[in-house]
């Protein structure tokens, strides 16, 4: 496959054009819809566009991935233009922050002097010798030094909250993350303090324990107990996410894969049935589900065997 090399000069011209287009859309006489938008009104689109990027990656749909990345970039331009309109910052500030961060956190690439000039106050070993683990260790140390510096200049590195709140090492885990990602990162951060399960096997009885506690609360059928039911379900989900972390499995990706399998199996049920599913009994539905699982598993096995054969012949 021919390799495409990025052209910074061409990208700069096109990026400048994108910034100009966004400014015109928000300017007087521009687009009424774009001019009416606020940070709150478009933030839901940011999440949607992010998941559309995920979907294109999973499908290896490179043409649409380029388009979806453009849609995601639009969100950045939109936020920056609104911020500029309100006098907070401009897109140039966004790029400056990004460029300085990349140089600051990659002293093994750009050199220690450039890293320090970009704001790095951490002493790290730049002799990473091709080790991604060493790079990650340096990244975390530089990031930690940044947070110490931010706190010394007032505030808690953007975390907000009461001034008298006790500082926690978990504060650096952004509350704005999707819940599954936040749970995994919280568990990983706690692990560094020795507060963690020793093995993934230790989480299995914890799942049973949390399931029993959820059952006990849900069995009351008391609407007033709904907050307690929600809390117990949260405990169960948190445990499941950390089981995934111990197994090296990303919970978000695992659930997305499960969602896709459910879609495919349910569609197969609809195709296989000669009657609307609503008219079938529970045993009939269960039978269709089992048939769909078997059929799709066999289809997947054939596809993998064909792919392996093609690769061997290549």
Which range, of 8-22, 54-68, 145-159, averages the lowest pLDDT?
Answer: 145-159
Q: Which residue has the higher pLDDT, 72 or 4?
A: 72
Task: Tell me if 144 is assigned to some domain.
Answer: no
pLDDT value, residue 164: 57
Check if the beta carbon of residue 236 is closer than 8 Å to that of residue 210: yes
When pLDDT is averaged across residues 135-160 and rounded to a whole number, the result is: 72
Residue 19 lies in a domain: yes
Please report whether residue 81 resides in a domain.
yes
Domain count within the chain? 2
Domain that holds residue 266: 253-313
Q: What angle do CA 99, 103, 106 make, to 5 degrees?
A: 140
Q: Give a yes or no: residue 160 inside a domain.
A: no
The per-residue DSSP string of 143-170 comes to: HHHHHHHHHHTSSSTT----TTSPP-GG
Q: pLDDT tens across 206-263, in order?
A: 999 999 999 999 998 889 999 999 999 999 999 999 999 999 999 988 998 899 899 9
Tens-place pLDDT, residues 88-100: 999 999 999 999 9
- Residue 196 inside a domain? The answer is no
Q: Which of 57, 89, 121 is the last residue of a domain?
A: 89
> Which of 27-31, 150-154, 282-286 has the weakest average pLDDT?
150-154
Given 89, 114, 142, the domain boundary residue is 89
Percent of the chain past pLDDT 90, that is, above it, reads 69
Is residue 193 one of the residues assigned to a domain? no
Q: Is residue 103 part of a domain?
A: no
CATH number (domain holding residue 69): 1.10.287.1080
Of 230 and 177, more confident: 230
Return the pLDDT at 3: 65
Give 268-310 pLDDT, tens digit per residue.
999 999 999 999 999 999 999 999 999 999 998 998 898 888 8
pLDDT tier for residue 156 given thresholds of 50, 70 and 90: very low
Share above pLDDT 70 across residues of the chain, in percent, rounded to a whole number = 93
Report the C-alpha gap between 174 and 243 in whole angstroms: 21
Q: Which of 89, 119, 149 is the last residue of a domain?
A: 89
CA gap 237, 253 in Å, rounded: 15
- The reply to whether 18 falls in a domain is yes
pLDDT value at residue 159: 46
Nearest CA to 252 among 53, 44, 54, 61? 54
The pLDDT of residue 144: 86
* 159 vs 38 pLDDT, higher one: 38
């Amino acid at each position: 496959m021919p390799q495409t090399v990025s052209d910074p000069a061409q990208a700069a011209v096109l990026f400048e054009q994108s910034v100009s287009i966004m400014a015109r859309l928000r300017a007087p006489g521009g687009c009424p819809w774009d001019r009416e938008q606020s940070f709150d009104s478009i933030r839901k689109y940011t999440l949607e566009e992010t998941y559309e990027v995920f979907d294109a990656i999973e499908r290896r749909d490179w043409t649409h991935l380029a388009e979806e990345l453009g849609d995601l970039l639009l969100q950045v331009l939109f936020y920056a233009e609104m911020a500029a309109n309100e006098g907070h910052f401009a897109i140039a500030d966004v790029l400056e922050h990004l460029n300085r961060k990349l140089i600051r956190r990659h002293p093994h690439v750009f050199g220690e002097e450039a890293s320090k000039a970009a704001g790095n106050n951490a002493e790290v070993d730049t002799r990473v010798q091709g080790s991604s683990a060493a790079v990650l260790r340096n990244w975390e140390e530089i990031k930690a030094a940044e947070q110490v510096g931010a706190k010394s200049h007032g505030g808690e590195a953007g975390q907000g909250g009461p001034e008298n709140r006790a500082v926690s090492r978990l504060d650096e885990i952004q509350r704005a993350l999707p819940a599954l990602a936040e749970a995994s990162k919280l568990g990983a951060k706690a692990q560094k303090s020795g507060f963690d399960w020793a093995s993934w096997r230790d989480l299995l009885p914890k799942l049973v324990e949390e399931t029993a506690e959820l059952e006990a609360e849900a069995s009351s059928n008391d609407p007033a107990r709904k907050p307690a039911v929600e809390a117990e379900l949260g405990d169960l989900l948190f445990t499941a996410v950390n089981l995934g972390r111990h197994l090296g499995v990303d919970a978000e990706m695992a659930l997305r894969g499960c969602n896709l399998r459910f879609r495919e199996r349910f569609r197969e049920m609809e195709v296989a049935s000669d009657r609307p599913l609503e008219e079938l009994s529970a045993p009939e539905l269960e039978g269709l589900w089992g048939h769909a699982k078997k059929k799709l598993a066999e289809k997947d096995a054939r596809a993998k065997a064909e792919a392996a054969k093609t690769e061997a012949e290549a």
